[in-house]
Amino acid sequence: MKERAQRLDEEYAAALRDHLAGEGEASLQQAYELGRRAIASGLGLVDMAALHYQAVLSLLPPSPGPGEYARAIEAAGAFLAEGLGPFEMAYRGFREASDVLRRLNETLEEEAKRIAHALHDDAGQILVSAHLALESLAADMPAARDQLQEARGLLDQVEEQIRGLSHELRPTILDDLGLVPALEFLAKGMAKRAGIAITVEGPRDRRLPPPVETALYRIVKEGLANVSRHARATRARVRVEHEGRLARCAVKDDGKGFDVSEVMARKGERGLGLGGMRQRLGALGGTLEIVSSPGRGTELQITIPVEG
C-alpha cells in the first residue's frame, strides 16, 4: 500500500510537470485517471490535497517571475480540479444511493405500518367475534363450558401474540406519542424479558422528523437486543438528546464490554447487527460509534442531522 501511494505521488508530480509544460488536454486526462486510481487505492480528498501540495512545491521554480508564478498556480489549480473529478462523481453516486436507500426504508416502514394496523384492527375484530360466539355457545351448552373456556384461553394467547407481532412491525405509540414514549414502552418489555433494569431519558414533548424517530427506534431496539444477548449486564440506559440540528442517542450498559477492534475483526458488523444500523444511519447522513473495553461496559453513540 505504501509503495502504491509513493508510485502515485511520483506519477502525479510527473503528470503535473507535463501540464505545466503545456501538454494541455492529454495531461488533464491523466489527472482524471490519477484521481480515479487514488479512489481505488483508498485515498481521500485530504490525501489528494496533500499529494497536490507536495507536487506543486517540488515543481515551482525557485525564483519565478510574477506572471510566471500566477500562470503556474492557475494551471496547477485546473489540474487539481480535473484530478478531483472522480471524487465528485463518487460523492454524487453515494448521495444518490443514500437517497434511494432512504426512500426504500420509508416505503418499507409504511408497508410495515399498514400490515401492523391491519393485524391489530382486522384480526382484533375477528377475535372479538370468536369470543362472542364462544360465549353464546357456553350459554347454550353448559356441559361444554370447560372445553369452551379452554378454547377462549387459546384465543387469548393468539390475541397476545398478534398484538406483539403488530408492535414489532410498527409500534403505534411511536406514531402517536413520539420516540421517547415508544422507547419507554420498548424498554419496559425488554427489561421484563431479559431481567435487566433499563431506563430511558429524553424530552417527551419534542418530536423529531418521522424518519429520524423510526431510525433511532430501530437502532435502539437492536442495541438493547445486543445487550440482552451478549453483554451480561444488569443495567442499561437509553438517552435521547436534540441539540440544534443534531439528534443524538446513546445506549449504554454496565456489562462485560469487549475489545471493539478484535470483535469486529472476528464477528464483523453482521454478527452484532451493526450492518443494518449503519445502513439506516447512512441513508440519513448519520453516524454510529461504539465505545467499549473489557470490563467497562459498552456504549453506542448515534448522531443524525436534523433539517431545520
Domain shared by 165 and 178, yes or no:
no
Q: How many domains does the chain have?
A: 3
Containing structural domain, residue 249: 174-305
Is 131 inside any structural domain? yes
Is 94 inside any structural domain? no
Q: C-alpha 172: how far from its chain's center? A: 22
Domain shared by 299 and 180, yes or no:
yes
Is 300 inside any structural domain? yes
Domain shared by 267 and 219, yes or no:
yes
pLDDT in tens, 104-124: 777 877 777 777 777 777 777
Please give the Cα distance from 19 to 218 (Å, whole number).
Answer: 52
SS3 177: coil
What is the model's pLDDT at position 294?
92
Domain boundary among 52, 83, 114: 83
pLDDT (mean) for 175-198:
91
Please give the Cα distance from 233 to 223 (Å, whole number).
Answer: 13
Please give the Cα distance from 113 to 287 (Å, whole number).
Answer: 26
What is the model's pLDDT at position 46?
84
* R_g over Cα of the chain: 29
DSSP 8-state class, residue 272: T
What is the percentage of the chain residues whose pLDDT exceeds 90? 24
Domain shared by 179 and 291, yes or no:
yes
pTM of the predicted protein model: 0.61
Which range (50-59, 99-108, 219-228) has the least confidence? 99-108
Domain shared by 118 and 52, yes or no:
no
Domain shared by 186 and 286, yes or no:
yes
pLDDT (mean) for 212-218:
92
Is 257 inside any structural domain? yes
Is 295 inside any structural domain? yes
pLDDT in tens, 245-289: 899 999 999 999 988 888 777 665 555 677 778 888 888 889 999
Average confidence score pLDDT of the chain: 83
Residue of 110 and 167 predicted with greater confidence: 110
What is the model's pLDDT at position 171?
81
Domain shared by 143 and 230, yes or no:
no
pLDDT (mean) for 90-104:
77
**CB-based burial of residue 223 (10 Å sphere; 0-12 exposed, 13-18 middle, 19+ buried)?**
buried
Please give the Cα distance from 260 to 295 (Å, whole number).
Answer: 12
DSSP 8-state class, residue 238: E
Please give the Cα distance from 256 to 65 (Å, whole number).
Answer: 66
What is the model's pLDDT at position 3?
63
Is 45 inside any structural domain? yes
Domain shared by 224 and 145, yes or no:
no
pLDDT of residue 168 exceeding 90, the answer is no
pLDDT (mean) for 41-50:
84
Please give the Cα distance from 117 to 259 (Å, whole number).
Answer: 42
CB 170 within 8 A of CB 116: yes
pLDDT (mean) for 65-69:
68
CB 13 within 8 A of CB 51: no
* Nine cell digits for residue 165: 407481532
Here the CATH number for the domain that contains residue 218 is: 3.30.565.10
pLDDT of residue 1 exceeding 60, the answer is no
Q: Which residue spans within 119-221 are E strands per DSSP?
A: 197-201
In the structure, what pLDDT confidence band is assigned to residue 179 with cuts at 50, 70 and 90?
very high
Here the CATH number for the domain that contains residue 48 is: 1.10.1240
Q: Please report how many Cα atoms fall inside a 13 Å half-sphere around the Cα of residue 94, on the Cβ side.
A: 10
Q: Given the C-alpha cell 458488523, which residue does it identify?
A: 269
What is the model's pLDDT at position 104?
79
What is the model's pLDDT at position 102?
73
What is the model's pLDDT at position 227?
93
Q: C-alpha 298: how far from its chain's center? A: 18
DSSP 8-state class, residue 197: E
Please give the Cα distance from 248 to 287 (Å, whole number).
Answer: 10
Is 23 inside any structural domain? yes
In single-letter form, the type of residue at position 202 comes to G
Domain shared by 229 and 276, yes or no:
yes
Domain shared by 201 and 281, yes or no:
yes
Is 96 inside any structural domain? no
What is the model's pLDDT at position 268?
57
Q: Given the C-alpha cell 515551482, which residue does it identify?
A: 60
What is the model's pLDDT at position 267?
61
Domain boundary among 51, 83, 115: 83
- Could you report how far apart the first and last alpha carbons of the chain are, in Å? 42
Domain shared by 67 and 135, yes or no:
no
Domain shared by 203 and 154, yes or no:
no
57 Cβ partners below 8 Å, 6+ apart?
A: none
